[in-house]
């Protein structure tokens, strides 16, 4: 896949998964108070984060949140529309092929040496499986020949920051709570017991793996390499998905965290592929949502901050300041309260209570009720985080969010599924 092919094809197949975003062009006139534009998803582009960063850094920051696919298309085809791109590491191949990002100089990253081995080596412990697909360390460093790889250099394609293990959430008032890593299964997403009550994420490089894990767990098919499916395997998987959709199995597909929360909160959906903040928010609303620890393993992701190739001068310096701010402590503590981890967690520990650290990172019972980022109680006293500690959860990674060699074909099939 070359850069021209990617840009032409991605634009042609984007219709179902993506809605237009109005990204204003970056101003070129001198601004006494630098302004940076950040594109990404609702996961990290939250107003509380923007306000705190502006206060701490003394710059202006404009957030442009959107769905996964639409944001990726905008960033890859219009680097003038942003200074920083925030999303998942599976975006990196696409952004690099589109020539949309510039190398990040690690010598300008204040906390680089504090970043743990998950981002740099693909795992937290030497005995943990790396998982199928594109572990982020495989795409981290710029190589002398212009490619991306794991060989250490002074330039990286992204700053690793927020990350997590993803799965699905279920309403335990309706579905009895199962046993983490033993009886909770991706196969539930295709289980007839939940016909018409299931929702999945409308993100081609994410949802396809949720469905692949579900299909394999149900014994409907197997894969030679789930992290790099063949066309034939993709065809077989989407035959299953489209048939299920036409039978009314899926209540809907969601494009943002608020949308997924709305579906679960309405009672229309009792089981859905979810991001952790949605589960936290639902519990804060009094809806008992268990974030599963599937026996087949998690789908993991690494959040990335990329620098637009069009960002120069004072905007680029402000962008570096914003990237460094993200690893300075407060942001990591903030996103921990919605179930996410940060790449240098020890620095955030000082901004968390002992009870918060014990629950979110160490997997211990909550010694007191804990609030989420929305201010509501999301963890009750005595609760234990499903899946356990940070280390244990990342010892159970089945696959990483990935852009496969068959990426363009999988996008076409995903849109066929959405429109079916």
SS3 13: coil
Contact indicator for 158, 105 with CB cutoff of 8 Å: no
Domain check: are 403 and 262 in the same one? yes
Integer-rounded Cα radius of gyration of the chain: 20
Domain ranges, residue 230 = 164-298+394-419
Could you count the other beta carbons within 10 Å of the beta carbon of residue 3?
13
Last residue of a domain, one of 313, 330, 346: 346
The tokens 């700053």 sit on which residue?
Answer: 159
Q: Does residue 79 contact residue 309 with C-beta atoms inside 8 Å?
A: yes
The per-residue pLDDT string of the chain (420 residues; one tens digit each, 9 = 90 and over) reads 444 444 444 444 344 444 333 333 333 334 478 999 999 988 899 999 999 999 999 999 999 999 888 899 999 999 999 999 999 998 999 999 999 999 999 999 999 999 999 999 999 999 999 999 999 999 999 999 999 999 999 999 999 999 999 999 999 999 999 999 999 999 999 999 999 999 999 988 899 999 999 999 999 999 999 999 999 999 999 999 999 999 999 999 998 889 999 999 999 999 999 999 899 899 999 999 999 999 999 999 999 999 999 999 999 999 999 999 999 999 999 999 999 999 999 999 999 999 999 999 999 999 999 999 989 999 999 999 999 999 999 999 999 999 999 999 999 999 999 999
- CA quadruple 309, 310, 316, 322: dihedral positive or negative? negative
Confirm whether 385 is domain-assigned: no
230 and 133 share a domain?
A: no
Sorted by sequence, the CB contacts under 8 Å of residue 4 that are 6+ apart come out as none
Q: Is residue 353 part of a domain?
A: no
Domain annotation covers residue 153: yes
> Does a structural domain hold residue 319?
yes
Same domain, 66 and 48: yes
Residue 12 has a pLDDT of 42
Q: Are 157 and 101 in contact (CB under 8 A)?
A: yes
- Residue 69: predicted pLDDT: 82
Claim to verify: residue 190 and residue 338 sit in the same structural domain? no
Beta bridge partners of 307: 84, 102
**279 and 408 housed in the same domain:** yes
End-of-domain residue from the set 346, 378, 411 = 346
* Same domain for 10 and 112: yes
- Please report the pLDDT score of residue 7 as a whole number: 44
Closest listed residue to residue 98, CA positions, set 75, 69, 66, 65:
75
CATH of residue 23: 3.40.190.10
187 and 250 in a common domain? yes
Q: Determine the pLDDT at residue 27.
A: 35
**Strand ranges (E), 260-368:** 271-274, 289-291, 298-308
Strand stretches in 172-283, DSSP E: 198-201, 250-254, 271-274
Same domain, 205 and 274: yes
> Is the domain of 108 the same as that of 8?
yes
The predicted pLDDT at position 253 comes to 95
CA 80 to chain centre: 24
- Domain shared by 201 and 290, yes or no: yes
Q: Does 361 reside within a domain?
A: no
Q: How many CA atoms lie within 13 A of 59 on its CB side?
A: 23
8 A C-beta contact, residue 237 and residue 137: no
Helix (H, G, I), strand (E, B) or coil at 151: coil
Same domain assignment for residues 126 and 254: no
> Do 75 and 67 form a contact (C-beta atoms < 8 A)?
no
Burial label for 29, CB within 10 Å (0-12, 13-18, 19+), is exposed
Give the total number of structural domains in the chain: 2
Residue among 75, 79, 55, 57 at smallest CA distance from 65: 75
3-state secondary structure 193-204: HHCCCEEEECCH
């Amino acid at each position: 896949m070359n850069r021209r092919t990617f840009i032409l094809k991605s634009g042609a197949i984007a219709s179902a998964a993506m809605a237009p975003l109005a990204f204003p062009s970056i101003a070129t006139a001198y601004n006494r108070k630098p302004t940076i534009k950040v594109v990404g998803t609702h996961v990290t582009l939250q107003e509380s984060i923007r306000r705190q960063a502006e206060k701490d850094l003394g710059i202006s920051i404009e957030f442009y949140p959107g769905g996964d696919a639409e944001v990726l298309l905008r960033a890859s085809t219009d680097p003038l529309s942003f200074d920083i791109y925030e999303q998942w590491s599976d975006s990196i191949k696409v952004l690099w092929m589109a020539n949309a990002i510039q190398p990040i100089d690690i010598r300008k990253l204040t906390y680089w040496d504090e970043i743990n081995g998950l981002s740099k080596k693909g795992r937290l412990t030497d005995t943990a499986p790396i998982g199928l697909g594109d572990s982020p360390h495989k795409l981290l460093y710029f190589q002398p020949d212009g490619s991306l790889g794991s060989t250490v250099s002074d330039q990286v394609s992204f700053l690793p920051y927020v990350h997590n293990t993803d799965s699905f959430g279920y309403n335990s008032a309706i579905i009895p709570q199962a046993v983490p890593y033993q009886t909770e299964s991706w196969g539930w997403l295709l289980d007839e017991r939940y016909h018409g009550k299931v929702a999945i994420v409308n993100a081609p490089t994410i949802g396809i793996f949720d469905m692949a894990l579900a299909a394999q767990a149900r014994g409907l098919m197997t894969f030679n390499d789930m992290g790099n499916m063949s066309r034939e395997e993709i065809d077989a998987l989407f035959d299953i998905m489209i048939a299920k959709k036409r039978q009314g199995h899926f209540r809907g597909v969601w494009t943002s965290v608020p949308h997924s929360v709305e579906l679960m909160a309405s009672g229309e959906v009792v089981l859905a592929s979810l991001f952790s903040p949605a589960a936290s928010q639902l519990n804060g609303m009094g809806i008992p949502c268990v974030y599963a620890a599937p026996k087949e393993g998690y789908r993991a992701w690494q959040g990335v901050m990329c620098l637009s190739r069009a960002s120069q001068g004072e905007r680029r310096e402000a962008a570096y300041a914003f990237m460094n701010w993200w690893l300075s402590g407060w942001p990591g503590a903030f996103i921990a309260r919605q179930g996410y981890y940060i790449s240098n967690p020890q620095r955030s520990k000082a901004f968390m209570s002992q009870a918060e650290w014990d629950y979110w990172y160490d997997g211990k019972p909550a010694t007191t009720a804990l609030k989420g980022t929305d201010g509501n109680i999301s963890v009750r006293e005595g609760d234990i985080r499903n899946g356990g500690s940070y280390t244990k959860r990342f010892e159970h990674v089945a696959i990483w969010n990935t852009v496969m060699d068959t990426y363009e074909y999988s996008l076409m099939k995903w849109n066929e599924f959405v429109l079916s």
